[in-house]
A and B are shown apart, each in its own frame.
Chain A
Amino acid sequence: GQQVMQIPQYQHVQEGEDFTTYCNSSTTLSNIQWYKQRPGGHPVFLIQLVKSGEVKKQKRLTFQFGEAKKNSSLHITATQTTDVGTYFCGSSNTGKLIFGQGTTLQVKP
């Protein structure tokens, strides 16, 4: 079945450093959705990408969908302590959304 692999599993950064998480698939993805889950919270939708090579920005966050639609990345510029949490990518196929394992980001002030 459809699977998305996410790396790294954990990342510790100093506040102000950049952070990137990657999402990869062996098959072409119809779309990519990114979610953020704060500690003790629930996943919250951030953004969706559907077009090959698409790039979208939300303030310090940049989301990218690969040209072959088999990978995606989320890059955070100059991390802040409010960025702490687990970031999940997911892809929906026939209506069901399958998530990667997530990348947990820790930010040291």
Chain B
Amino acid sequence: DAGVIQSPRHEVTEMGQEVTLRCKPISGHNSLFWYRQTMMRGLELLIYFNNNVPIDDSGMPEDRFSAKMPNASFSTLKIQPSEPRDSAVYFCASNVGPGYSPLHFGNGTRLTVT
């Protein structure tokens, strides 16, 4: 089982640039989650999808952030334009949802915006 796959592992970009993070969930999982982790705010849920449909995006910080899930095996999180305060580790996770099943996390993307 390949697990949740995220790319890139590391991204360094300049302020104002567009950043796209990618995620492939575990096959058969129908819920996908994007989290952001920082020292100050811990693990924040940004958005989650069920059956490719965004269910709750109340955690998306502002209009600069957008997420899509065009099919069951791929999702993107885009930041445009990026700012230094967006620097964080972004995790994608999936599970058999909705409900209580455990989340399987990817290895994360460490984003640094200078």
Indicate if A22 sits at the interface (CB-CB under 8 A): no
Interface size class of A (residues with CB under 8 A): 20 to 34
Q: Which of B21-61 contact A (CB under 8 A)?
A: 31, 33, 42-43, 45, 48, 50, 55-56, 58
Say how far A78's CB is from chain B's closest CB, in angstroms.
Answer: 26
CB of B55 within 8 A of CB of A33, answer: no
Interface size class of B (residues with CB under 8 A): 20 to 34
CB of B50 within 8 A of CB of A95, answer: yes
Chain B interface secondary structure, helix, strand, loop or mixed? strand
Hey, which chain A residues are within 8 Å of B56, CB to CB? Answer: 94-96
Hey, which chain B residues are within 8 Å of A88, CB to CB? Answer: 43
**Number of A-B pairs whose CB atoms are under 8 Å?**
54
Q: Which of A68-109 contact B (CB under 8 A)?
A: 88, 92, 94-102
Hey, which chain A residues are within 8 Å of B42, CB to CB? Answer: 99-102
In the complex, besides A33-B100, A92-B100, A95-B99, 16 extra interface pairs with C-beta distance below 8 angstroms are A42-B108, A43-B43, A43-B93, A44-B105, A50-B100, A94-B56, A95-B48, A95-B50, A95-B56, A95-B98, A96-B33, A96-B48, A97-B103, A99-B43, A100-B42, A102-B43
- Residues of chain B whose beta carbon lies under 8 Å from any beta carbon of chain A: 31, 33, 42-43, 45, 48, 50, 55-56, 58, 91, 93, 97-100, 102-108
- Residues of chain A whose beta carbon lies under 8 Å from any beta carbon of chain B: 1, 30-31, 33, 35, 41-45, 48, 50, 88, 92, 94-102
